[in-house]
Amino acid sequence: MVIETRNVKETLELGIKIGQEAKPGLVIALEGDLGVGKTVLAQGVAKGLGVEEMVCSPTFTIVQVYEEGRYPFYHFDVYRLEDPDEMYEVGFEDYFYGEGVCMVEWAEMIKEILPSSYLKIEISKDPQQGVDYRKITLTQVG
Ligand code: ADP
Ligand code: MG
């Protein structure tokens, strides 16, 4: 499924819808360049799950945990991982195979440890469509 958004609000709204429909155990693998809107989409999903707290990119930790929503929300940003092994130190399995909703920014960097089934969301820009245009492709894997 392909969704095109033309401003931040539309991407947020898509995230909210995904968060509202999310079931426990959902893992969302986010792909796309820096500044494409991965964190914006994650903010929407958090909101859709009922998280009131401000969600920002977990820059200093690999995972940020939000417990106040319908299900726990586990927001990963693996951009700064030196080695996929660091995911084991974080205990990613408890999150990926737990009862919460996981969202992983830069998931292409940890492909080998993604679960067999996940929702892949690729976000890309298209300068010809304007600076705020985003093409968001959702693919169910496995
Ligand atoms: P990432 O996490 O992928 O690095 P961010 O979500 O932090 O990206 O930043 C996305 C940036 O793009 C924000 O500054 C946001 O305001 C801007 N932006 C412009 N148009 C859109 C859009 N349609 N959807 C999402 N973000 C957008
Ligand atoms: Mg980000």
The answer, yes or no, to whether residue 15 has pLDDT greater than 90, is yes
Helix (H, G, I), strand (E, B) or coil at 140: strand
Q: Residue 83 has what pLDDT?
A: 86
Per-position b or e across 3-39, b if 16+ CB within 10 A of its CB: eebeeeebbbebbbebbeebeeebbbbbbbeeebbbb
The answer, yes or no, to whether residue 3 has pLDDT greater than 90, is yes
Ligand 1 within 6 A of CB of 132: yes
Query: What domain range includes position 59?
Result: 2-141
- Pick the atom of ligand 1 nearest to 134's CA: 23
Helix (H, G, I), strand (E, B) or coil at 73: strand
Ligand 1 within 6 A of CB of 3: no
Q: What's this model's pTM, rounded to 2 decimal places?
A: 0.97
Give residue for tokens 């939000």: 66
The answer, yes or no, to whether residue 58 has pLDDT greater than 80, is no
Residue 36 CA to ligand 1 centre (angstroms): 5
The answer, yes or no, to whether residue 59 has pLDDT greater than 90, is no
CATH number of residue 37's parent domain:
3.40.50.300
Residue 27 CA to ligand 2 centre (angstroms): 17
Q: What is the DSSP letter of 121?
A: E
Q: What is the average pLDDT across 4-18?
A: 98
